[in-house]
């Protein structure tokens, strides 16, 4: 970093710590911190009635090792004198589920409950205020607007380029749009609506218990779909 940036130009660096994502521990490490623990993730052995502790402890051990690596990087940044003018964001791309809802869901990528979409978020910037507590929901979408507004001089409304808001903006983030390029979920405060590429729709509460379709507020669902599509080019028959 510093060695390649002697002229002190602005820089951006992305570091991905894969251990908590893959849940795979290097073979040459010392005895895992948390026991009992699997040595590797055996997804074929998972079932609804098993004790999740060994699998969960494997995850905890992976996070522990990743935390050590984050500490090494933070010490380097501190020792290089970069803490005075660097924004640091530590975040996960998704959560990991260990059958908390007792519906045989494990890992990630299978539903949009809080166990799979809630992530840690740690933000540092020079002169950050300490000791303040906030209780409003934030999302991954908020990272870009916060940086654009506070550090890159962008004055446009955030709705010009993002679904998100400044971290400190307490506006309600629901419905929260999640998913990939073909399968989507709309997370409301008390409901999750999941859709897939063939057009089916599943309605559940936040613990993934089925709800009748009649419980869906169609107007609110329409707003959620419009939010998902807010940056698609509008089609005009005249053109």
How do the domains of the chain map onto residue ranges?
A: 1-134, 138-171, 174-232
Distance CA 236, CA 239 (A): 6
- pLDDT the model gives residue 177: 96
- pLDDT the model gives residue 180: 81
- pLDDT the model gives residue 50: 96
pTM for the complete prediction?
Answer: 0.88
Helix or strand (DSSP H, E) at 91: strand 88-91
- pLDDT the model gives residue 32: 76
- pLDDT the model gives residue 131: 86
- pLDDT the model gives residue 9: 82
The one-character DSSP state at 190 is: S
- pLDDT the model gives residue 212: 96
Exposure string of 128-141, with b = 16+ CB inside 10 Å and e = fewer, is eeeeeeeeeebbbe
Say how many CA atoms lie within 13 Å of 39 toward its Cβ. Answer: 6
Residues 6+ apart with CB under 8 A from 44: none
The token pair that represents 200 in the structure block: 């089916």
Tens place of pLDDT for every residue, the chain, 239 residues?
Answer: 455 556 678 889 999 999 999 898 877 766 678 999 998 899 999 999 999 999 999 999 999 999 999 999 999 999 999 999 999 999 999 999 999 999 999 999 999 999 999 999 999 999 888 888 999 999 999 999 999 999 999 999 999 999 999 999 999 999 999 998 788 999 999 999 999 888 899 999 999 999 999 999 999 999 999 999 999 887 667 65
Residue 191: count of CB within 10 angstroms of its CB: 19
């Amino acid at each position: 970093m510093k060695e390649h940036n002697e002229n002190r130009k602005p820089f951006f660096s992305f570091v991905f710590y894969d251990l908590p994502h893959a849940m795979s521990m290097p073979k040459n490490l010392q005895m895992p911190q948390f026991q009992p623990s699997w040595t590797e993730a055996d997804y074929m052995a998972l079932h609804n009635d098993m004790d999740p502790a060994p699998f969960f402890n494997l995850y905890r051990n992976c996070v522990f090792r990743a935390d050590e690596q984050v500490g090494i990087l933070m010490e380097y940044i501190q020792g290089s004198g970069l803490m005075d003018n660097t924004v640091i964001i530590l975040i996960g791309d998704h959560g990991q589920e260990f059958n908390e809802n007792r519906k045989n869901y494990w890992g990630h990528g299978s539903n949009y409950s809080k166990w799979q979409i809630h992530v840690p978020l740690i933000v540092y910037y020079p002169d950050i205020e300490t000791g303040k507590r906030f209780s409003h929901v934030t999302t991954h979408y908020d990272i870009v607007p916060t940086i654009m507004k506070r550090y890159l001089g962008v004055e446009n409304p955030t709705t010009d380029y993002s679904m998100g808001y400044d971290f400190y903006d307490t506006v309600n983030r629901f419905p929260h749009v999640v998913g990939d390029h073909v399968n989507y979920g709309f997370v409301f405060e008390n409901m999750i609506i999941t859709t897939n590429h063939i057009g089916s729709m599943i309605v559940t509460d936040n613990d993934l218990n089925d709800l009748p379709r009649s419980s869906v507020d169609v107007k609110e669902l329409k707003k959620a779909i419009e939010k998902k599509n807010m940056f698609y080019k509008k089609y005009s028959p005249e053109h």
